[in-house]
């Protein structure tokens, strides 16, 4: 049987006090609705519908390129009305799963349980017991413990308010029931809204089976209404990631002070000091050491590499046994071969650094190719940009670049060549040659310092 997912994301999220639509606020660097869509996609639905309203344009931009259909809910008349907007496009023979864009951490196994029950022709409801159920819809059950209705907090009687089992909002059911019951909803209630939750009583009256299923933990169904809840959920998520990597053989100096924001893979015996952020697509091989306050984004780090504190790697590939930092900045397109060394206050960009080559101090190397065993002295700069165009610098194997050399690209320094310290190199230096380009020193023997007049 086919399955379709409807994600509700039209609400305004007033309490975020933000220009950004609520569902675009990130958890672990990814918009909340992105988490929901990624989880939904893993269920392989035949169609994915996202209901948008407030901040629709920003949301559409974010959703562009994904395989889903965006449904407009011009006016937010309630969750029932929201789902109804998507129904014309939903196949009547499918099972429908309804998710919320602001409940980001819902987990796949829980949803699979709901879908299993719904595909057997039942209404599967995700519920949870809360110590404080204030504000939520309450699950009303009969003497046989069968679910008979959901009553919204604002419509609940004194007795109903004491119920601690609440509606998470997430449910799955045959599409034909939605097609049948949604048009029958009325807005005659405390909030003047078309409540999706009213279909529960309709299902019960029709004698259908209602399955109440529980998530594996409360955080899975935690909705985000303000930035406090966003931060709480973020911390919980990060703690769980930290625990995962520790059980996989990673040493974390402090599991509360490391953030994982993206698609991360880490090998064995990796050691990560405090305040490290791993972001985007990151691959860390075995035995890597990452010092305090490093940010590693969309990069690969080979086995045994040591990254000292305060270093940043962005879209860079680092091979094995490299030594980076402290205070190094590897910008996009940096590729270090085995055993390369990038020292303090060195910036690289689109730089291929050959095996065992060293750029130890205070340098900028951009749009450059360095062979093996090159030594770049302190203060060396590739002048790669004339204000309009970028040019390449090529340095051959074993070259020695004297301190404070300016390499005016396009320029080539041959294998085994040397540049004199303080040179401004504008012409190619052939293999093995020395290039010196600086004013000659003159010593004035009879020179005297000026004296006070």
Q: Which residues are catalytic?
A: 361
Q: Which is nearer to Ca ion, 27 or 312 (CB)?
A: 27
Nearest distance from C-beta of residue 264 to ligand UD1, angstroms: 28
Residue 152 binds which entry of Ca ion, ligand UD1, none, with Cβ cut-offs from 5 to 8 Å by kind?
ligand UD1
Residue from 181, 195, 260, 364 in contact with ligand UD1 (CB under 6 A): 195
- Residue with smallest beta-carbon separation from ligand UD1: 137
Other Cβ atoms less than 10 A from the Cβ of 3: the count is 20
How many Cα atoms are found within 13 Å in the side-chain-facing hemisphere of 8? Answer: 25
Residue from 18, 76, 219, 360 in contact with ligand UD1 (CB under 6 A): 76
Residue 100 binds which entry of ligand UD1, Ca ion, none, with Cβ cut-offs from 5 to 8 Å by kind?
ligand UD1
Query: Interface with ligand UD1 includes 101 (CB under 6 A)?
Result: yes
Residue from 106, 118, 150, 288 in contact with ligand UD1 (CB under 6 A): 150
Query: Interface with ligand UD1 includes 63 (CB under 6 A)?
Result: no
Q: For residues 139 and 166, is the Cβ–Cβ distance under 8 A? A: yes
Q: Which is nearer to ligand UD1, 137 or 371 (CB)?
A: 137
Q: Which is nearer to ligand UD1, 163 or 295 (CB)?
A: 163
Residue 101 binds which entry of ligand UD1, Ca ion, none, with Cβ cut-offs from 5 to 8 Å by kind?
ligand UD1
Residue 237 binds which entry of ligand UD1, Ca ion, none, with Cβ cut-offs from 5 to 8 Å by kind?
none
Applying CB under 5 A, the site for Ca ion has a residue count of 1
Provide the mask over 190-229, with x wherever binding to Ca ion is found by CB under 5 A and - wherever it is not: ---------------------------------x------
- Residue 385 has φ and ψ, to the nearest 5°, of -135, 125
Residue from 26, 29, 223, 379 in contact with ligand UD1 (CB under 6 A): 223
Q: Which region, judged by CB under 6 A, interacts with ligand UD1, from 165-173, 256-264, 269-277, 398-406?
A: 165-173
Name the residue among 226, 134, 208, 130 with its Cα closest to residue 171.
208
CB < 8 Å & 24+ apart, contacts of 409-415 = 409/367, 409/368, 409/382, 409/383, 409/384, 415/371
Other Cβ atoms less than 10 A from the Cβ of 153: the count is 16
Three-state secondary structure string covering the chain: CCEEEEEEECCCCHHHCCCCCHHHCEECCEEHHHHHHHHHHHCCCCEEEEEEECEHHHHHHHHCCCCCEEEECCCCCCHHHHHHHHHHHCCCCCEEEEEECCCCCCCHHHHHHHHHHHHCCCEEEEEEECCCCCCCCEEEECCCCCEEEEECHHHCCHHHHCCCEEEEEEEEEEHHHHHHHHHHCCCCCCCCCCCCCHHHHHHHHCCCCEEEECCCCHHHHCCCCCHHHHHHHHHHHHHHHHHHHHHCCEEECCCCCEEEEEEEEECCCEEECCCEEEEEEEEECCCCEECCCCEEECCEECCCCEECCCCEEECCEECCCCEECCCEEECCCCEECCCCEEEEEEEEEEEEECCCCEEEEEEEEEEEEECCCCEECCCCEEECECCCCECCEEECCCCEECCCCEEECCEEECCCCEECCCCEECCCECCCCEECCCCCCCCCCCCCCCCCC
Q: Which is nearer to ligand UD1, 12 or 216 (CB)?
A: 12
Interactions with ligand UD1, residue window 336-365 (CB under 6 A):
none
Interactions with ligand UD1, residue window 108-147 (CB under 6 A):
136-137
Q: Which is nearer to Ca ion, 78 or 396 (CB)?
A: 78
Residue from 21, 56, 78, 356 in contact with ligand UD1 (CB under 6 A): 78
Query: Interface with ligand UD1 includes 380 (CB under 6 A)?
Result: no
Q: Which is nearer to ligand UD1, 197 or 305 (CB)?
A: 197
Residue 78 binds which entry of Ca ion, ligand UD1, none, with Cβ cut-offs from 5 to 8 Å by kind?
ligand UD1
Nearest distance from C-beta of residue 252 to Ca ion, angstroms: 34
Provide the mask over 23-52, with x wherever binding to ligand UD1 is found by CB under 6 A and - wherever it is not: ----------------------------x-
Q: Which region, judged by CB under 6 A, interacts with ligand UD1, from 6-14, 319-327, 369-377, 378-386?
A: 6-14
Residue from 24, 47, 90, 166 in contact with ligand UD1 (CB under 6 A): 166
Applying CB under 6 A, the site for ligand UD1 has a residue count of 27
**Gyration radius of the chain's alpha carbons:** 31
Nearest distance from C-beta of residue 412 to ligand UD1, angstroms: 60
What residue ranges bind Ca ion (CB under 5 A)?
Answer: 223
What residue ranges bind ligand UD1 (CB under 6 A)?
Answer: 8-11, 51, 73, 76-79, 81-82, 100-102, 136-137, 150, 152, 166-169, 195-197, 223
């Amino acid at each position: 049987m086919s399955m379709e997912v409807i994600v509700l994301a039209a609400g305004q999220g007033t309490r975020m006090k933000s220009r950004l639509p609520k569902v675009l606020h990130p958890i672990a660097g990814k918009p909340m609705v992105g988490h929901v869509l990624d989880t939904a996609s893993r269920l392989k639905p035949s169609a994915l519908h996202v209901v948008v309203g407030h901040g629709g344009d920003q949301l559409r931009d974010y959703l562009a390129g994904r395989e889903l259909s965006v449904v407009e809910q011009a006016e937010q008349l309630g969750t029932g009305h929201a789902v109804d907007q998507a129904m014309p496009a939903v196949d009547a023979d499918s099972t429908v799963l309804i998710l919320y864009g602001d409940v980001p951490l819902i987990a796949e196994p829980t949803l699979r349980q709901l879908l299993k029950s719904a595909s057997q022709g039942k209404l599967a409801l995700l519920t949870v017991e809360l110590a404080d159920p204030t504000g939520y819809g309450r699950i009303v059950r009969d003497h046989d413990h069968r679910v008979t209705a959901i009553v919204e907090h604002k419509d609940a009687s004194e007795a109903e308010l004491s119920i601690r089992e609440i509606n998470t909002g997430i449910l799955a059911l045959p599409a034909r029931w939605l097609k049948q019951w949604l048009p029958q909803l009325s807005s005659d209630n405390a909030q003047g809204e078309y409540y999706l939750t009213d279909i529960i009583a309709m299902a019960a009256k029709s004698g259908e089976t209602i399955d109440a299923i529980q998530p594996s933990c409360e955080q899975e169904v935690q909705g985000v209404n303000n930035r406090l809840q966003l931060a709480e959920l973020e911390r919980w998520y990060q703690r769980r990631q930290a625990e995962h990597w520790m059980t996989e053989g990673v040493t974390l100096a402090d599991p509360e002070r490391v953030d994982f924001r993206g698609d991360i893979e880490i090998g064995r015996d990796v050691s990560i000091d405090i305040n490290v952020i791993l972001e985007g697509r990151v691959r860390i091989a075995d035995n890597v050491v990452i010092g305090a306050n490093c940010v590693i984004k969309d990069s690969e780090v080979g086995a045994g590499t040591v990254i000292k504190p305060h270093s940043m790697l962005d879209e860079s590939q680092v091979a094995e046994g490299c030594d980076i930092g402290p205070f190094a900045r590897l910008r996009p397109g940096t590729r270090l071969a085995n055993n390369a060394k990038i020292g303090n206050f060195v910036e690289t960009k689109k730089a291929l650094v050959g095996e065992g080559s060293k750029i130890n101090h205070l340098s900028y190397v951009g749009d450059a190719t360095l062979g093996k065993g090159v030594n770049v002295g302190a203060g060396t700069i590739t002048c790669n940009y004339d204000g309009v165009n970028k040019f390449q610098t090529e340095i051959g194997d074993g070259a020695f670049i004297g301190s404070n050399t300016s390499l005016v690209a396009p320029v080539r320094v041959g294998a085994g060549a040397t540049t004199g310290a303080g040179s401004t190199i504008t012409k190619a230096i052939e293999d093995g040659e020395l290039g010196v380009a600086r004013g000659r020193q003159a010593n004035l023997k009879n020179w005297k310092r000026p004296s006070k007049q």
